[in-house]
Amino acid sequence: MTYFKKPAGRASDGRLIIDFLAQALGLPFLSPYLQSIGSDYKHGANYATMASTVLMPNTSLFVTGISPFSLAIQLNQMKQFKTKVEEKVEQGIKLPSSDIFGNSLYTFYIGQNDFTFNLAVIGVGGVQEYLPQVVSQIVATIKELYNLGGRTFMVLNLAPVGCYPAFLVEFPHDSSNIDDFGCLISYNNAVLNYNNMLKETLKQTRESLSDASVIYVDTHSVLLELFQHPTSHGLQYGTKACCGYGGGDYNFDPKVSCGNTKEINGSIMPATTCNDPYNYVSWDGIHSTEAANKLITFAILNGSFSDPPFIFQEHCDLQPIG
């Protein structure tokens, strides 16, 4: 509704972080690897899918909604893509030159579904037991891409899921587990533990791959600030979803999620959308609005939330993202 004005394969009202990054670098939006019609891969490819995980899922999309395209599958797709590029003989195909892989920026924004998928069933303690495997898999993927020629990797950390309207509604909790900003303390603390583990492991990876740039990006801090102080950044609502059902503090009901209509007690109940998504941090109770994504992207570009600092303007001729 905000940017594309039509269904665009994105869980938001408009552009995502990856869209804004492409615009800032003066590139067209990345085509999804799975998009068979109308794709142009000369400037990059997007292997991400909604609801994907780092670890291989042991369940079905039709049972839980978890994507079958885990990080290992996405890596295999990338390998196949590289092979196809190197085999390219036909001119005019919308593929990059074969030397692109050493000059590309590889971005990772994945792991949230590993954290939240079983959270309601096994609790924070159960989830934390396998989070080291998640970090190890991300690092193993970076090293494999390094062996394929990649040299610049940017890993975004985990968001403060304890502030998500969906989890504030779905996960049982008492008032002692809610902080002054209305977020779940135990879940956000667990996220911080994961992020610290990820940061330290990426530091070790950076030391072992001395000719590579391995950048940890603390988007968690940016998003947490938006949830806690939305009005300080031109927004109005932190822990309330723009698109959902139920109104109230969170406007979220798992039975009637954004984009869906359900019959409840004999009545047809559609999820509805607010008229002002530019005032919200949360689009659908989980994913961010375009307004929040733009603010997060500005923080990424200025480099102050990166370890080590990575100021895009020192490396690229940045364009306005509007």
Provide the pLDDT for residue 118. 86
**Predicted confidence (pLDDT) at residue 91 exceeds the cutoff of 70:** no
pLDDT average, residue stretch 72-92: 87
Q: How large is the average pLDDT for residues 105-129? A: 93
- 3-state SS class at 282: strand
In this predicted model, what pLDDT tens digit does every residue of 127-137 receive, in sequence order? 999 999 999 99
Q: Which residues of 107-140 are buried (b: 16+ CB within 10 A; e: fewer)?
A: bbbbbbbbbbbebeeeebeebeeebeebbebbbe
CA end-to-end distance (rounded Å), the chain: 16
Give the whole-number percent of the chain exceeding pLDDT 70: 99
Give pLDDT, residue 160.
98
Quote the pLDDT of residue 121: 84
**265 — pLDDT class (breaks 50, 70, 90):** confident
Q: Are 23 and 290 in contact (CB under 8 A)?
A: no
CA distance 98 to 85: 6
Residue 194 in 3-state DSSP? Answer: helix
H-only helix segments in the chain:
17-24, 61-64, 71-87, 112-116, 119-147, 165-170, 185-208, 219-228, 290-302, 312-315
- Mean pLDDT of all residues in the chain? 95
| Residue pLDDT, tens place only, 154-163 | 999 999 999 9
Is the predicted pLDDT of residue 84 greater than 70, yes or no? yes
Please state, in angstroms and rounded to a whole number, the distance separating the CA atoms of residues 217 and 297.
Answer: 11
Instruction: Band the pLDDT of 75: cuts 50, 70, 90.
Output: very high
241-257, pLDDT tens digit by residue? 999 999 999 999 999 99
pLDDT at 258 over 80: yes
- pLDDT surpassing 90 at residue 89: no
Does 16 have pLDDT greater than 90? yes
Mean pLDDT, residues 123-150 taken together: 96
Residue (of 240, 89, 70) closest to 166 by Cα position? 240
Q: Which residues, 6 or more positions from 178, have their beta carbon under 8 angstroms from its beta carbon?
A: 184, 185
Give the best-scoring range by mean pLDDT among 62-71, 161-170, 255-264. 161-170
Mean pLDDT, range 125-153, rounded to an integer: 97
pLDDT of residue 190 exceeding 90, the answer is yes
64-68, 92-96, 178-182: which range is least confident on average? Answer: 92-96
Using the predicted structure, report yes or no on whether residue 180 has a pLDDT greater than 90: yes
